[in-house]
Structure 1
Amino acid sequence: MHLDHQDGFPERHTYSAAAPVRGDGTRRALRIGLGGPVGTGKTATVAALCRVLREEFSIAVVTNDIYTREDAEFLRREAVLPTERIVAVETGACPHTAIRDDISANLEAVEDLEESVGPLDLVLVESGGDNLTATFSKGLVDAQIFVIDTAGGDDIPRKGGPGVTTADLLVVNKTDLAPYVGVDLDGMARDAKAQRGELPVAFTALKQPDGVKPVADWVRAQLTHWTTATA
């Protein structure tokens, strides 16, 4: 399958997801992908977003793990959504394969959720832990969030890669750990700005009250645009 390339990195597929408005005039759910390296807090971010937004919007989640359903089981144990709104995909290969190269299993999971528990406003698709090159196919999601964390080092934004440079929102998580791991948050902000230009960056500390607020506010803005944009 053909991939576009930008600055030597694999980019998301050029084809787009299904049209926002179906033939019967109803609008499908906004699909947002969350990717990033192992341990950065992707599942915790998904959980926090569900807790904050579930009273405002109809939400479902698709998780990706290579050989297990651990992330989905965590979300179910935490009761962030009714269990039927959380579906697991076992990729059996590197996570980027199922979110960028062969999206069929994820796309089927999303579409099945819309049919079984819809109508939905938002579907969050969480990738398994991957590296800085991980991106989502545009055929699967409408926007993507890339999560890094301070424990990975303050050079991560400077290293770039398409996850950092092209994601619609870059999240720098675990900012409360910065003093303990010798990370300069201001430096990370400058490096992210240099890599991303005007694309937004959110700094989060999910253990703190309202720690996910910058990401939740961004998601709300995406949903507002999604529901009001001309078909």
Structure 2
Amino acid sequence: MSSLVAASDLARAAYCPRQLYYARREETREPPSSVDAIRALAFEYPSLVEARDDELTTRPLATSPEDYRTNLRELRNRDEWEALTEPVARDVLLTGKDCRGIAHKLVGDPPIPSFVSPGTPPEQGVWEPQRVRAVALAKALAWEREAEVPRAIVEYPAVGVVRTVTLTTRNKAAYRRALRVARELDFVPPRLQDSAKCDGCSYRTECGVKTRSLKSLLGF
């Protein structure tokens, strides 16, 4: 296996190492068309911000048309609006020292990467798997440009919300943990116990074989 780890694998490793194990066994790992439809919204903010209810109800939103317009209007008042709606580049493959992945946008000057999530955000901040993926993209861009990239962006276009991920000590530590797990994952890791994460996992029906402990996985 290449020493370069996919940024998407790092996100799975942060979410559930067992899920990553099953995903790596799939012949194809392309996202479903429903994900593409949601990500397309991230490139239509200027038209969506004033769209009528009947237009918005035909789109894959995770909130009401009224709330969606409100969120986009709040976003329009932020300094990032122009950079997000006029990105420097789209769907750029970034290759760093340890990982590689697609930045759905490069925004700003100097540019920072943006990852477009098909999901919804927590009340504050960004879910850990997406923070790890954002850090991975920032590190890969920094490696390519030979310049510091101190932050990245995670967009949630299904609700019209955009969050910033800074490369704090905590976020970089989470990235390193996920990188270690992803590189050493050559066996079936333990199942999560009574976790809500399992509810929406596409591998939950086959998740039942013997495992090694997570302590063993991490070398404790």
TM > 0.5 fold call: no
More helix by share: 2
Q: TM-score, normalised by structure 2?
A: 0.30
Larger radius of gyration: 2
Q: TM-score, normalised by structure 1?
A: 0.29
